[in-house]
Amino acid sequence: MAPSAARTLPQWLSTATQIAAPITLVSTLLFYFGYVYTRSQYAYFGVDVDTIGLTPRDYVMRSPQPLLVPLLVLVVLSVAAVALHGRLQAEAGERRLLPEGDAHVRRVARRWVVGSGAVLAAGLALLLAYAWWGAWPYLSLVSACLIGLGAGLCASALPFGTANAPGTVAGLWVLVVAAAFWAVSITADWSGRGQAQQVARNLEQLPAVILDSPADLHLRNTVAAPEDLCWVTGPAPDAACAALTDEPRYRYRGLRLLVQGPSAMFLVPTEWSPSGTTLMVPRTSDARLQFQFVNDSPF
């Protein structure tokens, strides 16, 4: 019984690596979690991430930040499952030579199966209770963690309790992977929103932009009234300057660069406001952008 139980986990890991190429699978996961993180981040500023036009490489490069904490937690849980599996395997080897040794191992393993099954059932109960407790912001994450933890511990202990459950063990490991995927997706979404809130509290740290436009963009609710570049002195604008409709005339200050894509730049005010908006400036427009130096002396 012990040798077959010891081979259960490696067999399924080997099968998984044969189904999908590891590099392709890792790249796909990095892209997905980077997309979830970025979508949540820019949605806080009212921008649909698909409007920006980021490349798959951009999403992959943004994935490490939301994955750091979930990966640390998953490593700890994996160590716990491997430790339980190894402890039961060692005890099975020690008890095999004693009378009723196998029976004792089965009893211990079944206790672990019952306990982990209760954890798994609690996670499923929380999932089914979403209609009533959906307002609790941590419901989904707690449910995913309980399902993954319960299924992992149960899959580690079940082969020592019975030799007739290979299909059940495989299903439990699939459930562990699904729960881990779900939990990491939730934390990536939270991480993106948290990063957006951090940026909103420190908008002055974004690159400062001066926007010159041929037409008045009427951004009164976003930034201060623009400077009329044709109205330098005197009671009225210079007529010759005002006649140049293709030349930048109105200058807007107090803008910051939030993000830039291949076809447009997205600007936000220097000061956060719940009623503020994000300005999209296409690269093909007649507007002219200037990036200000940071006011720190280089000497």
pLDDT tens readout for residues 249-280? 888 888 999 999 998 999 999 988 888 889 99
Tell whether the model's pLDDT for residue 7 goes beyond 50. no
CA atoms within 13 A on the CB side of 177: 10
| pTM assigned to the model | 0.75
Confidence class for position 2, pLDDT limits 50, 70, 90: very low
Yes or no: say if 246 and 286 are a contact pair by the CB < 8 Å rule: yes
The percent of residues in the chain predicted with pLDDT above 90, rounded, is: 23
- Tens of pLDDT, residue by residue over 136-169, are 788 888 898 899 888 888 887 777 767 666 778 8
